[in-house]
């Protein structure tokens, strides 16, 4: 019981810190939207420049490094001790530093032809400015290498708060730029601020590394067995983590086929940023805490405990993500209007962005499940299944995005992304349940259906409350906040109340904790 309480507290603290960072990220994107909108050259150039560094780091650093490094590091730590594990970390980080520096140089040389792939060279002004911005943003690759590699060390040592605070520090740096320097240095200075933010993400981890007696030493030994095992695992990991970033690249190109062209591309980017912030608070907080535990259980061949951990996490994730997904679908328009619609961000920009957000939100549970199951396979140091399902998802997304954009406009590529990642998650769950028996059972399936039914009732209630409130509020920021918070609160009460009436274990536990707290008070 104490271990479970400790894990819950860790997840709760991580969620609070992550949410604070994501909230600053929303404010950051809100400023960017008001300055650039969806129709300006600066908007297109800035979004072009951000695609490659963000996707490269998603593929190689945040996913591939942590997913291939943490299981091997944990195994060495468990079996051979801290000194051997730290030696492996020194070797790994040194090699990644060299590789990331070479990749940065190559991408800088090819910046302009890479950008021409996004729109076929239609907008020469955006490509010229985007090339300059991209070469600045590419510096984040090396800094991202350092930051995410050290995050893997800290999470393996049981330190989660510092990695969770990385986004908080980075976004704070960028907001300082918006408040004091944006009017003077413009979009070029903004890219420099992004680089500075990544530097801050690296620096914030140093005190926690020192506390755990980790002091980096440059050391390269390509013959090291641990490094070889990480390398063997990293290749399929890299392919398997290509789903989201490759889908974004494909969907961005497909968005240009819409009648609004570059505006649809920029709207898709804003919608994905907002969706990633809101979904990432829950998904990444849960999976980052659970992954080291799964890795240890896999190393110790404790499949019973592994299956129980995985099953409970799936339940908890769906219990949180289903109502959040339905809530975003119902409130996409008011949310986009609140966060973005000012300055250069027009009513048309809001319509395009909210349409994309609705279809992104439909895939939230699939995104969470895919993320969790991918970590589960990596815990067994098995990358083949995630790799093959990722190839399937990328192929499905390409075909669906190309076809749906003609019927749904900017919503087509977003829906293609949701369907493809949910398909990958379903296949991975089937394979994992065969590998570890008992993850999916009749009780879990029945409770997930209950959650879905309750979520649909909640969706209807939130839509009704949204329309009722919107007709009675003032047309200002305070009114917009009330227009979101009141329907959201009504939806939360209905969802939790029905979940308790139908005796869903998560709701029963939540009401039990609330009752104990109230009795103590």
Average pLDDT, the chain: 83
User: Over the stretch 282-309, which tens digit does the pLDDT of each residue have?
Assistant: 776 677 667 667 767 776 777 788 888 8
Single out the residue of 21, 364, 379 nearest to residue 197, CA to CA.
Answer: 21
User: Does position 330 have pLDDT exceeding 60, yes or no?
Assistant: yes
Q: Residue 218 CA to chain centroid, in angstroms?
A: 31
Single out the residue of 102, 183, 185, 89 nearest to residue 142, CA to CA.
Answer: 102
Residue 205 DSSP symbol: T
Residue 499 has, within 13 A of its CA and on its CB side, a CA count of 28
User: Region 191-218: what's the mean pLDDT?
Assistant: 88
User: Over the stretch 351-390, which tens digit does the pLDDT of each residue have?
Assistant: 999 999 999 999 999 988 988 888 888 778 777 888 888 8
User: Region 251-280: what's the mean pLDDT?
Assistant: 82
Confidence of residue 1 (pLDDT cuts 50, 70, 90): very low
User: Does position 39 have pLDDT exceeding 80, yes or no?
Assistant: no
Hey, where are the domains in the chain? Answer: 2-440, 441-521
User: Over the stretch 157-200, which tens digit does the pLDDT of each residue have?
Assistant: 777 666 667 778 888 999 999 999 998 999 999 999 999 998 99
Identify whether the C-beta of residue 289 lies closer than 8 Å to the C-beta of residue 10: yes
Cα–Cα distance measured from residue 351 to residue 366, given in angstroms and rounded to the nearest whole number: 25
User: Does position 9 have pLDDT exceeding 70, yes or no?
Assistant: no
| Cβ partners under 8 Å of residue 410, min gap 6 | 255, 258, 260, 264, 267, 268, 271, 352, 355, 356
What stretches of 160-240 show up as alpha helix (H) in DSSP? 161-164, 166-180, 182-203, 206-211, 225-240
Single out the residue of 238, 263, 36, 244 nearest to residue 133, CA to CA.
Answer: 36
H/E stretch holding 476: none
User: Does position 2 have pLDDT exceeding 60, yes or no?
Assistant: no
Radius of gyration of the chain, Cα coordinates, nearest whole angstrom? 23
Per-residue pLDDT at 266 = 87
Per-residue pLDDT at 277 = 77
Model pTM score: 0.78
Residue 292 has, within 13 A of its CA and on its CB side, a CA count of 19
Single out the residue of 375, 202, 197, 366 nearest to residue 290, CA to CA.
Answer: 375
Confidence of residue 225 (pLDDT cuts 50, 70, 90): confident
Identify whether the C-beta of residue 164 lies closer than 8 Å to the C-beta of residue 155: no
């Amino acid at each position: 019981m104490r271990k479970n309480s400790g894990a819950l507290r860790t997840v709760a603290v991580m969620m609070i810190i992550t949410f604070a960072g994501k909230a600053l990220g929303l404010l950051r994107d809100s400023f960017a939207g008001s300055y650039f909108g969806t129709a300006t050259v600066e908007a297109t150039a800035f979004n072009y420049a951000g695609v490659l560094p963000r996707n490269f780091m998603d593929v190689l650093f945040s996913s591939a490094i942590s997913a291939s490094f943490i299981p091997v590091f944990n195994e060495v730590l468990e079996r051979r001790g801290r000194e051997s594990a730290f030696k492996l970390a020194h070797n790994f980080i040194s090699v990644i530093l060299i590789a990331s520096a070479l990749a940065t140089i190559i991408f800088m040389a090819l910046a302009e032809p890479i950008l021409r792939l996004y729109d076929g060279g239609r907008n020469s002004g955006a490509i010229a400015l985007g090339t300059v911005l991209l070469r600045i943003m590419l510096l984040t690759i090396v800094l991202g290498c350092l930051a995410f590699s050290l995050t893997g060390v800290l999470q393996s040592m049981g330190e989660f708060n510092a990695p969770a605070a990385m986004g908080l520090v980075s976004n704070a740096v960028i907001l300082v730029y918006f408040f004091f320097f944006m009017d003077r240095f413009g979009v070029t200075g903004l890219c420099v601020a992004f680089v500075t933010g990544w530097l801050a993400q690296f620096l914030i981890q140093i005190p926690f590394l020192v506390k755990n007696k980790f002091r980096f030493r440059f050391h390269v030994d390509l013959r090291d067995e641990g490094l070889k095992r990480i390398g063997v695992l990293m290749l399929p990991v890299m392919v398997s983590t290509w789903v989201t970033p490759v889908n974004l690249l494909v969907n961005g190109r497909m968005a240009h086929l819409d009648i609004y062209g570059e505006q649809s591309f920029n709207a898709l980017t804003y919608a994905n940023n907002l969706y990633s912030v809101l979904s990432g608070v829950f998904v990444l907080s849960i999976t980052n805490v659970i992954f080291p535990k799964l890795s240890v259980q896999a190393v110790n061949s404790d499949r019973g405990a592994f299956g129980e951990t995985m099953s409970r996490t799936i339940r908890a994730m769906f219990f949180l993500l289903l109502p959040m997904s339905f809530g975003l679908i119902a409130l996409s328009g008011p949310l986009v209007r609140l966060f973005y619609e000012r300055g250069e961000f027009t009513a048309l920009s809001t319509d395009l962005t909210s349409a994309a957000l609705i279809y992104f939100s439909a895939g939230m549970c699939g995104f969470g499940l895919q993320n969790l199951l991918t970590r589960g396979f990596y815990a067994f140091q098995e990358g083949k299944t995630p790799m093959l399902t990722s190839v399937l998802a990328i192929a499905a997304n390409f075909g669906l995005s190309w076809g749906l954009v003609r019927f749904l406009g900017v919503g087509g590529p977003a829906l293609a992304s949701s369907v493809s990642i949910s398909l990958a998650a379903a296949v991975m769950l089937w394979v994992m349940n065969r590998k570890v028996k008992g993850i999916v059972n009749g009780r879990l399936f029945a409770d997930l259906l209950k959650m879905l039914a309750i979520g649909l009732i909640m969706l209807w209630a939130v839509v009704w409350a949204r329309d009722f409130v919107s007709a009675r509020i003032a047309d200002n920021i305070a009114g917009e906040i009330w227009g979101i918070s009141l329907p959201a609160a009504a939806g939360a009460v209905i969802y939790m109340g029905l979940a308790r009436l139908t005796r869903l274990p998560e709701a029963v536990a939540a009401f039990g904790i609330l009752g104990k707290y109230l009795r103590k008070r």
